[in-house]
Amino acid sequence: MKRIYRNINLKNRNSFGVVQHAATLVEVESADDLRDYFLAEQPTKWYVLGGGNNILFTQDYDGVLISPRSERMELIAEDTEGITLRVDAGKVWDELVEWSVGEGLWGIENLSAIPSSVGAAPVQNIGAYGAEAKDAITAVEYFDTRTLNVVRLTREECHFAYRESIFKHELRGVAIILAVELRLHRAPRPNLGYGDVIREVEARGGATLRNIRDAIVAIRSSKLPDPKVLGNAGSFFKNPIVDAAVAERLLATYPDMPTYAVPGDASHVKLAAGWLIDRAGLKGYRDGKVGVHDRQALVLVNHGGATGEDVMRLAHKVCSEVRAKFSVEISPEVNVL
């Protein structure tokens, strides 16, 4: 059953905690709800609002916000090696990760404590600590607002890349994700490519599913502020990918600069945006009601009462300072409306 709200305050529906309003917000449970609404109202301007964890409102939204709410999980295949699961878009991502760890299923444990809904995970191809959502996703089901039909895309058809997918490009403004199918495995598959993860896991007794999840939750908690206490959207910036020659030039000056391989692309290197921001002197920087977090420079925070425009002014300053010091462009991964 769908629920419709008019002129709704979005303060409690975005993790930055900025005060903006939407002309209309529609909570939906199914494709039928969406079909009924689009047939009746034929909205020309709409946007999907999941958990509100990766969005920054800079003004009131004069269109329709669509909020998928169903959290159903369905086992659709099982064998000796693992399971394939269909999870509705409204499910909280970290609740899914906790469930998988409790069931002894490997594949998404490195994505613990990422503030996201399941439906948002494939849009951004969320990732952390050497893992990405695409590694587990086998298919995505969406509602096509042009045809009012349900469409299923395989992983390959989703065109996943670093923080990218078809849903951010060809299907932007077309698709409303309904559910995600994931393949989870019974055999251990520890992914411990990051030093701080290795140390935390070893301190807990070794590479079990529970130890890996607990280690990553502890690391993220130590670095990232709780949005309920300090408004933020997690990592505000994407890690830039640069030509290998650019990385070599920077390493000659900054030998301690972290670099990461880009899978399947030896001509490019991924840099750590947080390190660049920190070395540009902005970690802990504050400008009135907004600032760069003092423990994780990737995170911009609302100290209380900030507007989305305040946050964006700070974001532009951060990008400018990094560009001036390193001649490297960084860009937001947060969706700005």
- Catalytic positions are 163, 235, 333
Is there a contact between 232 and 300 (Cβ–Cβ < 8 Å)?
yes
Return the exposure string of 202-241: e unless at least 16 CB atoms fall within 10 Å of the residue's CB, then b.
eeeeebbbebbbbbbbbbbeeebbebeebbbbbbbbbbbb
Closest CA to 224 of 295, 318, 126: 295
Which of 66, 64, 67 is CA-nearest to residue 23? Answer: 64
End-to-end Cα, the chain, rounded Å: 27
CA 208 to chain centre: 25
Single out the residue of 252, 229, 337, 240 nearest to residue 298, CA to CA: 240
3-state secondary structure of 29: coil
Q: How many residues does the chain have?
A: 337
Which one-letter amino acid corresponds to residue 184? L
Joined tokens for residue 188: 């251990």
Work out the angle between the directed axes of helices 209-223 and 195-203 (0-180°, nearest 10): 120
How many CB atoms lie under 10 A from the CB of residue 16?
Answer: 28
Nearest-angstrom CA–CA distance, 203 and 216: 12
